[in-house]
């Protein structure tokens, strides 16, 4: 006879450790904050100050990326390592994730998937790659 602690008899899915859940939650919150801040900068520059779309978007994405790095380093992963090497690695990581995202979107659309599901899939992959890279490669201290 199996004991109630037998994982085969458990009715609940196994839960991630508390530290991982906390990091995932903080990563999500950081993503919402940096996306909102970046969008605010884009709209403010373009609509409020009449800046061109390229300049507005470059500034907005730059501010969002800086916010993302800062919050993920200090809050999500509580890293105390050297800032400049981590920032350089983070830029490379984001570039790789962006390239994967665009490749997935393009490939899925080429295979006949409509734009929105392709974009959602690419964005999800981007988010997963950045989280795992930040956790296991960049902010490991």
- Total domain count for the chain? 2
Domain shared by 141 and 94, yes or no: yes
Q: Is residue 57 part of a domain?
A: yes
pLDDT of res. 138: 98
The answer to whether residue 65 sits within a structural domain is: yes
**CA–CA distance from 88 to each of 65, 84, 104 (Å)?**
12, 6, 25
pTM, 2 dp: 0.85
Examine residue 12 and state whether it is found in any structural domain, yes or no: no
Domain that holds residue 113: 81-141
65 and 90 within one domain: no
Same-domain check for residues 27 and 53 = yes
Cα 35 to chain center, whole Å? Answer: 10
List per-residue pLDDT tens for the chain, 141 residues long: 455 555 555 566 677 799 999 999 999 999 999 999 999 999 999 999 999 999 999 999 999 999 999 999 999 999 999 999 999 999 999 999 999 999 999 999 999 999 999 999 999 999 999 999 999 999 998
Q: Given CA atoms 100, 68, 74, 95 in this order, what sign does their dihedral have?
A: positive
Whether residues 90 and 121 fall in one domain: yes
């Amino acid at each position: 006879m199996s004991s109630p602690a037998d994982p085969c008899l458990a009715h609940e899915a196994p839960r991630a450790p508390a530290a991982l859940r906390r990091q995932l939650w903080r990563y999500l919150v950081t993503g919402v904050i940096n996306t909102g801040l970046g969008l605010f900068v884009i709209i403010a520059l373009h609509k409020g100050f009449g800046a061109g779309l390229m300049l507005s978007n470059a500034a907005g994405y730059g501010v969002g990326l800086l916010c993302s790095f800062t919050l993920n380093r200090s809050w999500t992963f509580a890293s105390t390592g050297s800032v400049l090497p981590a920032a350089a690695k983070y830029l490379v990581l984001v570039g790789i994730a962006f390239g994967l995202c665009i490749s997935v979107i393009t490939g899925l659309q080429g295979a006949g998937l409509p734009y929105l599901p392709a974009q959602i899939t690419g964005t999800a992959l981007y988010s997963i790659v950045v989280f795992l890279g930040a956790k296991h490669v960049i902010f490991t201290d």
